[in-house]
Amino acid sequence: ADTALYAAKLAGRGRSRLDDLDSTELAHDLAQALAAGDVRAWFQPVVSPATGTLVGVEALARWLHPERGLVRPDEFITVAETTGLILDLGAAVLADACRGAVELARVHGPGLLLTVNVSGRELVAEGYGDRTLAAVRASGWPLEQLVVEVTESLLDASSGPALQALHRLRSAGVRVAIDDFGTGYSAFSRLDTLPADYLKLDHGFTAQITTSERRAGLLQALLSLSDALGLQVVAEGVEHEEQAALLASLGCPLAQGYLFSRPLPLDELLAAAPARQVA
């Protein structure tokens, strides 16, 4: 009945995007979707740019809306954050992601990384670290193969609770990635103070590595600095062969982007997997 109401409203307004509905309605529908299990994890492969080998997957939230079809996160993450629904959303995506990763590992073999996105609001919520560890343990996914992605802005000096939560996770073996690096105020000098294991270079940065020599130089410097600090770089938003070739030649260990694969639902990823070796 709610979806019919929704459709009627959309039709009445002649609009088609969810975010044209007011955020109270959106929040209400999102809460229902979460309860119904309609917010799922999709997976984008993370590969070695030199070989194309699958190294891991990033879980990305998708709302499978009965009327609207597939809804991408830019249309609901902000509302989830402002309403606090992000706590349930994060837990739902994490559980689904771990479930999917366990299946994926049966086909691809052990050692894959699973990365999940975490909002500041989740990270500072009471008990976040312990809840996350319990959920991952219950799923059977190894804690050492989980990476939580946070943005650098969450980790400035004033964010004690966020740092504490990350420390809790890291001491249990979970890895941390700094997402969207190269946007905003990223400073090389801060790199060795961040509680992180991976640096994810933003699309905007990747887009320029083959068009600007200065950017290519910056990438090279960043790679050697990251290496010295024990950070692994993941180049995001790789769309062109030339970018992958440059990344490979500069020794960038990890990459993801449409060139390799779009985010896929679990069944498509399983179907794309190499046939299992039969003894």
Smallest separation (angstroms) from ligand C2E to the CB of 236: 6
Smallest separation (angstroms) from Ca ion to the CB of 216: 20
Token digits of residue 277? 């070796």
Question: Which CB sits closer to Ca ion, 117 or 145?
Answer: 117
Question: Which CB sits closer to ligand C2E, 29 or 202?
Answer: 202
Question: Which CB sits closer to Ca ion, 21 or 178?
Answer: 178
Smallest separation (angstroms) from Ca ion to the CB of 129: 19
Size of the site for Ca ion (CB under 5 A): 5
Cβ neighbours around 10 below 10 Å, total: 17
| CA–CA gap between residue 128 and residue 121 (Å, rounded) | 10
Question: Which CB sits closer to Ca ion, 29 or 122?
Answer: 122
Smallest separation (angstroms) from ligand C2E to the CB of 84: 13
Cβ neighbours around 52 below 10 Å, total: 14
Smallest separation (angstroms) from ligand C2E to the CB of 75: 9
Question: Which CB sits closer to ligand C2E, 191 or 255?
Answer: 255
Q: Which stretch binds Ca ion (CB under 5 A): 33-41, 100-108, 115-123, 128-136?
A: 115-123
Q: Alpha-carbon dihedral of residues 106, 108, 112, 117, nearest 10 degrees?
A: -80
What is the separation, in whole angstroms, between the first and last Cα of the chain?
Answer: 52
DSSP code for 183: B
Smallest separation (angstroms) from ligand C2E to the CB of 61: 4
Question: Which CB sits closer to ligand C2E, 118 or 176?
Answer: 118
* Contacts for 227-231: CB closer than 8 Å, 24+ residues apart: 229/191, 229/192, 230/197, 231/191, 231/196, 231/197, 231/198, 231/199
Question: Which CB sits closer to ligand C2E, 57 or 93?
Answer: 93
Smallest separation (angstroms) from ligand C2E to the CB of 212: 18
Token digits of residue 229? 């600090």
Residue choice 179, 191, 198, 244 for contact with Ca ion (CB under 5 A): 179
Q: Does 206 bind Ca ion (CB under 5 A)?
A: no
Cβ neighbours around 184 below 10 Å, total: 11
| CA–CA gap between residue 246 and residue 209 (Å, rounded) | 8
User: Which residues lie across from 117 on neighbouring strands?
Assistant: 149
Q: Does 132 bind Ca ion (CB under 5 A)?
A: no
| CA–CA gap between residue 116 and residue 149 (Å, rounded) | 6
Q: Does 122 bind Ca ion (CB under 5 A)?
A: no
Residues in contact with ligand C2E by the rule CB under 6 A:
44, 60-61, 72-74, 77, 90, 93, 117-119, 179-180, 203, 237-239, 256-258, 263
Q: Does 180 bind Ca ion (CB under 5 A)?
A: yes
Residue choice 149, 163, 199, 238 for contact with Ca ion (CB under 5 A): 149
Cβ neighbours around 198 below 10 Å, total: 23
